[in-house]
Structure 1
Amino acid sequence: MFCIFIFFCFWHLIDGVKIVTVMEGDSVTLNVIDKHRHEIHKRQLWIGPENTLIVKVFWLDEETYDIIYNDDDGIFRDRLQIDNQTGSLTISNIRTTDSGLYELHSSFFQRESFNVTVYTRLPIPVITRDSTCSSSSSESRCSLLCSVLNVSHVTLSWYKGISVLSSISVSDVISSVSLHLEVEYQDNNTYSCVLNNSFIDQTQHLDTELCQTHPDHVHCYSFTEAVIRLVVSAVVGVAAVAIVVYDIRSRRAEKKRRTSQSVPD
């Protein structure tokens, strides 16, 4: 369920358009049918996103051809290659900005279309002990935080086995997203934090050692307990001040009494 796809490029047809899904940084080949190869004295044009001409192929005979890469803006710099046997187009080190419609135009109005979607690689979630305390926390529960950085259009979820415990989805690009979880200490169930979009999952399993012992420096209090402790601390503080003031006044009174006794009549 949580496995990363082994093959990062997927194809299927919708209304004659080949749908191509690929992971950022990989290479993808837009395969065309072999009949284009035998169109002698004909030309083939590759049109990229935003209806931009990116490659021209001129066939003089079965062994002679001329390829012109039209990349004046440098978007595809050194990343395009035409197969001289079939005319198929390969894009290397593909980027998310390369997403869009690609079309091969050849003679007799023949056309092949490819809708390419490039997905960003997802980071692996990081699970840590949560140093903050929520109102439901107690000494018997381990507080965890699963976090990822710089993501968009993803869902972050906590799983217990194959059951979803909680999840959060983000659409816009966000610098950080986190999801909280509390488990019992010595809990031996399998917990996982999963980051996914519509194409791929990234999973981090909870290390069983992370919640086996209590941290000596972390103690969580309920709201009521916190208020009681605050009131007690305030009372103790007021009492301490009163004792100091009383001691100072007593010392002054004793000093004044001794001074008055030492003055001769």
Structure 2
Amino acid sequence: MFCSLVFCSLCFWHLLVFGNSDTVKTVSVSVTDGDTITLQNNDSQLQDNYLLSWTFERPESRIAEINKGARNFLIHDGVPDGRFRDRLKLDNQTGSLTIMNTRTTDSGLYEMTIKSKKDDTYRFTVAVYAYLIAPVISSDSSRCFSPLSPCSLVCSSVNLGHATLSWYKGISVLSSISVSDLSNTLSLPLEVEYQDKNTYSCVLNNPISNKTTHLNTTQFCHTCAVDSSEGHANCCDSVEAVLRLVVTALMGVAAATAMFF
């Protein structure tokens, strides 16, 4: 996937004017982990004899520069910590900077400064979000559920960053949980009644994408079946087993009482 940041067609620029000569232009852009983005100014070709520099996060962290007069074109992809190594491309004509195979650690402020007859600064606030994988719905597969007890489920997802996990009943949100740390795991429980015919889904989303997993209640919430070959109920639900014992005991007491009348 290639995301090209073009001034005229894809981005909304905010122009702040300081005096009559110097300008600062800023823009925000969001992409998904693994995309390629191109950060460029609105000029198709720069004037002769200019100095251009690209920095990341801090003014002293220079990652690329052009000295048009001296015909020097340099990429410092080892700065600040080698995160951009072999992933930067500099256009010698327009000064645009391309970042290939983006990572979440590439998020931050990029600044392009052009020094010529007047000084221009272009600032790009880049947010790279993790690629989302559809969340997983699970239950205790060793258990069966009786009509008297709810079916307990869990929706989960791993390796996230700035994402929200939500349970939906139809189009209404039942519950949600968010995370901003890439190393965290999200888990969200849900209980469904045996004869509930509503539509449920688990949705994982961030500011630019989402993934949905729909709940199939018959897959996870199967009822206890009678094993005809054994002649008894094949059920793992302890609550139902206790109820059966109680009913049997009451019937025994009633029978014993009837013998005395």
Structure-1-length-normalised TM-score: 0.68
Matches of 2:179 and 2:38 in 1, distance apart? Answer: 31
Please identify which structure carries the higher strand content. 2
Matched, 1:181 2:199: no
More displaced, 112-121 or 12-21?
A: 12-21
Unaligned runs of 5+ in 2: 17-24, 225-233, 250-261
Find the residue that maps to 2:158 and give its secondary structure: strand
What corresponds to 2:30 in structure 1? 21
The residue aligned with 1:205 is 214
1:126 alignment partner in structure 2: 136
How far does residue 194 in structure 1 lie from its aligned partner after superposition?
Answer: 0.9
Matched, 1:85 2:99: no
1:173-216 superposed Cα distances (whole Å, 9 cap, x missing partner): 56433222222345443211012233332211113541563255
Q: What displacement does 1:172 show?
A: 4.3
Aligned to 1:100: 108
Equivalent-residue separation in structure 2 for 1:170 and 1:124 (angstroms): 16
Unaligned runs of 5+ residues in structure 1 are 1-5, 233-265
TM (norm. structure 2) is: 0.69
Write the distance in 2 (CA, Å) between the matches of 1:220 and 1:198. Answer: 44
Query: What letter is aligned with 1:22?
Result: V
Equivalent residues of 2:3, 2:37 under 8 A apart: no
Aligned length: 216
Is residue 76 of structure 2 the alignment partner of residue 70 of structure 1? yes
Give the Cα–Cα distance (whole angstroms) in 1 for the partners of residues 139 and 4 of structure 2. Answer: 33
Any idea what SS the aligned residue of 1:97 has? helix
- 1:40-72 CA-to-partner distances (Å, cap 9, x unmatched) read 122211112222111111324xxx954211233
Q: Percent sequence identity over matched residues?
A: 44
Contact 2:3 2:36 in 1 (8 A): no
What SS does the aligned partner of 1:210 have? helix
Q: 1:177 to 1:111 in 2, by over 3 A?
A: closer
Q: If each structure's helix is expressed as a fraction of its own residues, which one has the higher value?
A: 1
Aligned equivalent of 1:155, options 158, 161, 164: 164
2:237 aligns with one of 211, 216, 219: 219
Deviations 1:88-125, CA, capped at 9 Å, x for gaps:
11100111221111111112211111111111223321
Structure 1 stretch 6-15 or stretch 50-59: which is displaced more?
A: 6-15
In 2, Cα distance between the equivalents of 1:8 and 1:68?
22
Larger radius of gyration: 1
Contact kept, 8 Å, 2:160 with 2:185, in 1: the verdict is yes
